[in-house]
Amino acid sequence: MEFQTFLTKILLFNIVDRNLHFDGIAAQLKMTPKERLHFDLTKIKDAKKAAVLALFYPNVTNETCFLLTLRANYKGAHASQISFPGGKKKLNESLQDAALRETQEEVGINSKNIKLIKSLNKTYIPPSNFLVTPYIGILKKTPLFVKNYEVKELLEIKLKDLFEDTNLTTKTLSTSYMNAVSVPCFKFGSHIVWGATAMILNEIKELFTYTFD
């Protein structure tokens, strides 16, 4: 999708209320591993709070893209995984500010240049006990990313690839709470995106389909 067309459509989010009737949780559940379904968000009281940013922007040919990051191989629950920029909320910091700050720290985009459009449904991540609030944001100019030590690789994904059914697949994985389980995922080139990131992506995919059509 050409970026100006995308920009015109997404800025309507704050004008029309059609997307308020959209069931984002149902969209997330379609990409949720079955073993994760038993986690009841209403009973998770001690989860750490975090925020991530789904950043949309024009690439050098003015196509709408969004950013994912391949995490570096460090000691932690999410090392070497693919995710959105983001991280843990600091004391006395809002979730919106956490998403913007972490994005600036990880990929070098000045938070003042990012316009937040809306938040999405919270997503619980069992291995690290984080309750994550995703945000959709836009950057009107082609960015010059500068990754920090937390990021091994930047993945620039074209929005049109999110809507390609051929990029939906399954993969057998083992984690701290499931063993050799087939999980739904997105496949972008050689990269597999699953878990919380895939859940958020599917909410975005279906939200855009619901609102833009």
- Tens-binned pLDDT, residue by residue, of the chain (213 aa): 999 999 999 877 755 555 567 889 899 999 987 766 655 555 577 889 999 999 999 999 999 999 999 988 755 544 468 999 999 999 999 999 999 999 999 999 999 999 999 999 999 888 788 999 999 999 999 999 999 999 999 999 999 999 999 999 998 876 655 677 788 999 999 999 999 999 999 999 999 988 887
* 107 Cβ contact partners less than 8 Å away, ≥ 6 residues apart: 67, 69, 85, 143, 145, 146, 147, 148, 151, 154
First to last CA, the chain: 13
Domain span at residue 43 reads 3-164+193-212
SS3 205: helix
Is 88 a domain residue? yes
CATH code, 28: 3.90.79.10
Is 40 a domain residue? yes
**What is the spatial distance between Cα 186 and Cα 165, in angstroms, rounded to a whole number?**
9
Is 56 a domain residue? yes
Tell me how many domains the chain contains: 1
Task: Tell me the pTM.
Answer: 0.90
Helices assigned H by DSSP within 62-148:
95-107
Is 199 a domain residue? yes
